Amino acid sequence: MTNQPVAAKPESGGAISDFGIDTTTQSTGEAVRDFFVRLRSGDLGSMPAVLGLGVLVLYFWTQSESFLTLDNTANLIAQGSGKMIIAMGLVFVLLLGEIDLSAGTASGVCAAVMAMHYVRAGNLVGGMGSTVFYVFVGGMLVAAVLAVIMRIWAGAVFAMVAVTIAMLGVGPNPWIEMLLALCVGTAIGVITGFLVSKIGMPSFVVTLALFITWQGVILQFIGQGGVFGIGTQPVLFSVANGNLSVLGSWILFAVGIVGYAGVVLGEHYVRVNKGLVTAPTPIVVGKVAAVTVIAALGTYAFTLNRSPNDFVVIEGVPYVVPIVLVLLVIGTYVLNRTRYGRHIYAVGGNAEAARRAGINVPKIRASVFVVCSSVAALGAIVYSSKVGSVDPQAGGLNTLLFAVGAAVIGGTSLFGGRGKVIHAVIGGLVLAVVENGLGLLQQPAAVVNIVTGLVLLLAASVDALSRRRATVAVR
Amino acid sequence: MSEPILEVTGLNKSFGPVHVLHDVDFTVRAGEVTALVGDNGAGKSTLVKCVAGIHPMDSGIVRFNGDPVSVHGPRDAAKLGIEVVYQDLALADNLDIVQNMFLGRERGGAWLLDEASMEQAARDTLASLSVRTVKSVRTPVSSLSGGQRQTVAIAKAVLWESKVVLLDEPTAALGVAQTRQVLDLVRRLAEQGLGVVLISHNMADVFEVADRIATLYLGRMVAEVPTREVTHGQVVELITAGRSGDLGLARPETATV
């Protein structure tokens, strides 16, 4: 029954023997061999996306001299980060094998409310009209009640914060506006989560319906042909367009690297000392060194003046880089180190097993939609800031498909159970490079859409094929 | 012999119009292996799942160590010290061995799991079960063979210093060597003072390890007898017809679904 070369030999009296061939450490060579074995067995992770990203960058570099300039690189990152952030939230939903088609337009609703709060100087009643305003507040209250019913306390608190901000008519303040966007996103997620996990409708249908609903809500808030300009508010504008100072960039580098190396190396040596399963030390140290070098080079490049205009100086790491990094760290920590994250993977891998282990599966299922919509609201802040305005198309068009595409291209499985937050970042970079590069090559939108769609299709096939391969390998 | 550690009386369970369990009485004694046998659809797995809190009971009383207890969910059962090894093993393929063994009962705070302590405990338990074919406790379950998965599922149940372990067909998917190991393990658990319930279709296994045999027939408990007082043939008759001589149902005609 075993596919291991060392099969269990029947022994006299079934004596307890030592732990046989179980190992906790392996040599570097073994680890490398193991890595290729895993690749062959279909556990690809983000490998295809990283390779694809390299190929794409090389290709556009040879085709357009303006592609790999500092200016364009910074621009590319700022352009892609909104969808990248939405994708980070979607990873949570995809981990359960669910889908949230409404994340894009839900983020648009958050952007519209945020922008209306700024444009109307905090007067949401005037901006929406009293009927719409009371429906809006009522919706937030319903979300708060649903969150209490589902015992998702954070959802209830955030929804009530949104109600409070709306009812008090708090004056314009960029931080209040961003908080409002986040809270509206959370409330939307509570509603989605309730419909999926308590009512029991398939997430595809619920979120497809909400996708259309939120599109209508955005149009109602902004009005046909209307635009809310937020580019005049310095804080809101600089979220995606501003940069850290040169000193700030190096401080970010130092804090990031010390933190990363501290966590990775510290954990490695604790595990070695306790005799636990560890990767070979050279590989761990090499990984940290590689990240340090790449981060240092990147920070250095961004601290050079990249302005195409001689009279303006643009230097420093764009704000979106620390924003994405912080979300990446939080998301990775939640999924890998907390009980909640462990339970998300368990429900995605085998919901029945999770239920029998006493995990509250409906609550986990609802909560991932709350996470997804809340994170999507943060994405909305970034992409609205990049454009400097919010129009009725905010979060519409292919925002959602780009975000799903980013997660899947990065290596998150559509079948649930496998995925990491960093997949959204890598996949988001791939799509940002495709969009930006084809734009520089003067390709029409038709070509951009076709290529993006094909890349997504390719990623989904890799996912499906590797999954089939993994299943075959088990039997 | 010994006091019953787990006693179920008058258990009824229906799934919609289908009455699966009729007034079932079932006793598990500490230090004994009780075999639960019956044909397919007799209600063996349902009985186990009711005891484990997976399915709510329609009626019936569960006594644990003589005290009436209410089991409303898997956590209640786990708290009492009742562990189940399910027929389908209930392992999450995408998690590794340690993560599966501690699923739902992770050590450490909610905001920072104690991986080191979990990994060491998992290794110790696997070592005590003489598991020698697993390369690393951090291997994902998806890359384990059927026998290895079975061992992980049993190790998961043994890890918790449980009082009662219910094994639902633990040897069905195993080869000769692994079956031997599992049966030895079942005996060892009973010798350590646990109440063990073994569901099996394999009469040879049942007669080898069981102290008592409980037979379900169409959702009714027809006999609960010491193994040494019955023969192989009698048990087969009980399973297939619900009666055998003086044992079992008085008149098989009354047994309706």
Write the pLDDT tens digit of every residue in A97-130.
Answer: 999 999 999 999 999 999 999 999 888 998 899 9
Give the pLDDT band (50/70/90) at residue A17.
very low
Whether A32 is in a domain gets the answer no
Lowest model confidence (mean pLDDT) among A252-261, A339-348, B122-131, B226-235:
B122-131
pLDDT band at A96 (very low <50, low <70, confident <90, very high): very high
**Residue B130 near chain A (CB below 8 Å):** yes
pLDDT higher than threshold 80 for residue A6: no
**pLDDT at residue A419 greater than cutoff 80:** yes
Give A1 or B123, the one with higher predicted confidence.
Answer: B123
Supply the pLDDT for residue B256: 52
B79 to chain A: which residues are within 8 Å by CB?
none
Nearest residue of B to residue A1, measured between CA atoms: B175
pLDDT value for A432: 93
Minimum-distance CB partner of B146 among A1, A17, A276: A1
What DSSP element (H or E) covers B67? strand B67-69
| A-chain residue closest to B172, CA distance | A1
What local confidence, expressed as pLDDT, does residue B250 receive? Answer: 67
Report yes or no on A36 lying in a domain.
no
Joined together, the tokens standing for residue A302 give 């961004």
B110: DSSP letter:
T
Is residue A354 one of the residues assigned to a domain? yes
Asked which of A24-33, A131-140, A282-291, B50-59 is least confident by mean pLDDT, the reply is: A24-33
As for the ipTM of the complex, it is 0.87
For chain B, positions 36-55, list CB contacts with chain A under 8 A.
Answer: 52, 54
Interface test with B, best of A22, A268, A418 (most B CBs within 10 A): A22
Residue A363 lies in a domain: yes
Chain A nearest-CA residue for B119: A276
**Is A446 part of a structural domain of the chain?**
yes
Residue A278 pLDDT exceeds 90: no
pLDDT for res B146: 79
Distance CA A471, CA B93 (A): 10
Q: Is residue A27 part of a domain?
A: no
Which residues from A are below 8 Å from B166, CB to CB? none
**What is the least distance, in Å, from the CA of B252 to any CA of chain A?**
36
Q: Which of A333, A336, A337, A356 to mutate to test the interface with B (most CBs of B within 10 A)?
A: A356
Please indicate, yes or no, if residue A269 is contained in any of the structural domains: no
**What are the structural domains of chain B?**
4-81+162-254 (3.40.50.300)
* Residue A13 in this model has a pLDDT that exceeds 80: no
pLDDT at A15: 31
Residues B84-114: tens digit of each pLDDT: 999 888 999 999 999 999 998 899 888 899 9
**Residue contacts between A and B (CB atoms, under 8 Å):** 162
pLDDT tens column, B4-17: 899 999 999 999 99
Residue A25 has pLDDT above 70, yes or no: no
B126:A19 CB<8 A:
yes
Which tokens is A225 given? 């042909």
Report yes or no: B93 at the A interface, CB cutoff 8 Å: yes
Query: Per mean pLDDT, which of A252-266, A391-405, B181-195 is the most reliable?
Result: A252-266
% pLDDT > 70, chain A? 92
CA angle A357, A89, A179 (to 5 degrees): 115
For residue A164, pLDDT over 90 is answered with yes
Cα–chain center distance at B85: 6
Render B136-182 in DSSP notation, one character per residue: -TTSBGGGS-HHHHHHHHHHHHHTT--SEEEEESTTTT--HHHHHHH
Residue B231 has pLDDT above 80, yes or no: yes
Radius of gyration of chain A from Cα atoms? 24
Please report whether residue A22 resides in a domain. no
Are B132 and A359 in contact (CB < 8 Å)?
no
Give per-residue pLDDT as tens, A432-461.
999 899 989 988 888 888 888 888 888 888
Domain carrying residue A390: 45-242+318-474
Domain count, chain A: 1
Q: Which residues on chain A are in Cβ contact (under 8 Å) with B147?
A: 1-2
For position A96, which CATH number holds?
1.10.3470
Q: What angle do CA A241, A173, A128 make, to 5 degrees?
A: 100
Q: Which residues of chain B are within 8 Å of residue A343 when distances are taken between CB atoms?
A: 104
- pLDDT at residue A3 above 80? no
